[in-house]
Amino acid sequence: MPKMAILTFKWNFERSLNCVVFLLFCLSCLHASEKEIQHVDGTLKYIVETDWLPVHLKDPSKKAAVFYVAYHVPSVKPRPVTFCFNGGPGSASVWIHMAGVGPRSVKTPVLQDFRLPIQVADNPFTLLSVTDLVFVDAVYTGFSRPEPPTPAADFFSYNADIDCLSNFIDSFIQTHNLGEVPLYLLGCSYGTLRVAGLADALLNTYHHKVSGLIMLSALLNFQSLTAAYQQNDSPYPLLIPTFAVASWYHSIGDSRNYTEKEWMDKATAWAAEKYLPALMQGDSLSREERSVIAQEMSAIVGIDKELIELRNLRLDTNYYIKELLRKENRTIGRFDIRYKGIDSDVNRTAGVEADPSYIVMGTIAAGFQDYLKNELHFEVPTTPEYFFLGKASSWHYVNNGLHFLCLNKKVSTLMERLPEMKIFVGSGIYDLATPYRVIQNDFSHLNLSQAQLQNRFILQLYEGGHMFYTDSKIQEKLYQDVKQLY
């Protein structure tokens, strides 16, 4: 039986003057074509649906249309459905869709320049073999837009984002008659905070039980991630192991006398046993003790002892990516420490103009445009916003009165209330955006016993960066690992 790809468009957008105007269409375009992909488990036939769904916030006057691409494999038995999100906040779902778990994938060779022609090919390790997939663009990402006169900023907060997207998921479940199928949520980066909040909202507001969470490049607690001198010391020890991986990868000092894992383990032990106690002493740490810690830290992370002492033993990510290869007039990537860029401003003490590891993103976005036009025959209705982090600078993160967005308690409560729910966490060891020790730390502070976590929580490390799933070799391992949840 040939696979049918059905594309239904109910919402469209036009540009008029400088405004995006909403127009509602009912089945304004219907297209069907035969398609199929080759999967590692055999030929896979499916239906793809591309559409918008109207959504609203708790205030029903605040409306938007959320764009999605959904894949369904016809089956006699009900199949699980997984809703997939990237993060940012301010990022469309294009990255996990077209370079991760979707059925078609943009070829993105690791650590290489990306040139035309861009190749879109079958993804032999798509999760579509075990679950239906719905890739969702949050409001003002991709082709999702607020309905005028609702301003986009009304959706730029943790709570509004959860309200909007939980409403979307409930609407999708109702319109597609999926009330009895197992429900899973997949999130990347900030999307992991999103899916944790969505699982809570779906349970409490819409009475949908989530069977599993897939969290890639994850975090639960911004306090574990956001280092701030004289304000928040928590992240500094958690950054050390990834700094050590960077020094090892770029052959700094004595690091290459060890294997990568040995160096990671050495750095992790030192950070917990020596560095953390030193930070806790604060100003009572003696000058001699401070000198010893600075020397040991220099050997592990590859930054000169004098600079470490000048920064009072505290190195943050923006400083580190600028400083590690300064003598070579190079910077390293935040999304992936293996990438090197040219330092365009040697006088700047921290941060870079452009992350050299962002290069993969343009390739994936271009591949998605090609996929929409040439395979799905989708006429782009408005200029897409694939990544607009800068426009979300006013994003409101505060939840329940906490200064730091922290979902540890929410996740532990979910695991208690949903005893069948499982969680998969995947992290890249070359990622400085969400370092792997951050999520290890967060999940060790859920106030749950080992018995409660046994067989319900899987944590895997991968030899990749923040978007480790773009590596075809990792895609295969990720597929085999995540299959365990279904």
Q: What's the pLDDT tens digit per position in 282-323?
A: 999 999 999 999 999 999 999 999 999 999 999 999 999 999
Q: Could you tell me the pLDDT band of residue 351, with boundaries at 50, 70 and 90?
A: low
Identify the pLDDT of residue 62: 95
Identify the pLDDT of residue 258: 96
Q: Could you tell me the pLDDT band of residue 430, with boundaries at 50, 70 and 90?
A: very high
DSSP 169-236: HHHHHHHTT-TTS-EEEEEETHHHHHHHHHHHHHHHTS-PPEEEEEEES--SBGGGT--BTTTB-THH
Mean pLDDT of 341-350: 75
DSSP state of 314: -
pLDDT at 25 over 70: no
Residues above pLDDT 70, as percent of the chain:
87
Q: Over the chain, what is the mean pLDDT? A: 87
Angle between helices 260-270 and 287-301 (to 10 degrees): 160
Q: Could you tell me the pLDDT band of residue 362, with boundaries at 50, 70 and 90?
A: confident
pLDDT at 345 over 60: yes
Q: Could you tell me the pLDDT band of residue 23, with boundaries at 50, 70 and 90?
A: very low
pLDDT at 110 over 90: no
Cβ(307)–Cβ(317) under 8 Å? Answer: no
Identify the pLDDT of residue 176: 94
CA-wise closest residue to 432 among 360, 364, 339, 353: 339
The region of weakest confidence among 206-215, 228-237, 246-255 is 228-237
Q: What is the C-alpha separation between 177 and 48, in angstroms, rounded?
A: 16
Identify the pLDDT of residue 393: 61
Does the predicted TM-score (pTM) go above 0.75?
Answer: yes
Angle between helices 260-270 and 235-249 (to 10 degrees): 150
DSSP state of 145: E
**pLDDT, tens digit, 9 for 90 and up, residues 136-189:** 999 999 999 999 999 988 999 999 999 999 999 999 999 999 999 999 999 999
Q: Could you tell me the pLDDT band of residue 429, with boundaries at 50, 70 and 90?
A: very high
The region of weakest confidence among 30-44, 122-136, 409-423 is 30-44
Mean pLDDT of 228-235: 87
Cβ(397)–Cβ(226) under 8 Å? Answer: no
pLDDT at 239 over 90: yes
Give the other-Cβ count within 10 Å of 171's Cβ.
16
pLDDT at 33 over 60: no
Q: What is the C-alpha separation between 97 and 123, in angstroms, rounded?
A: 11
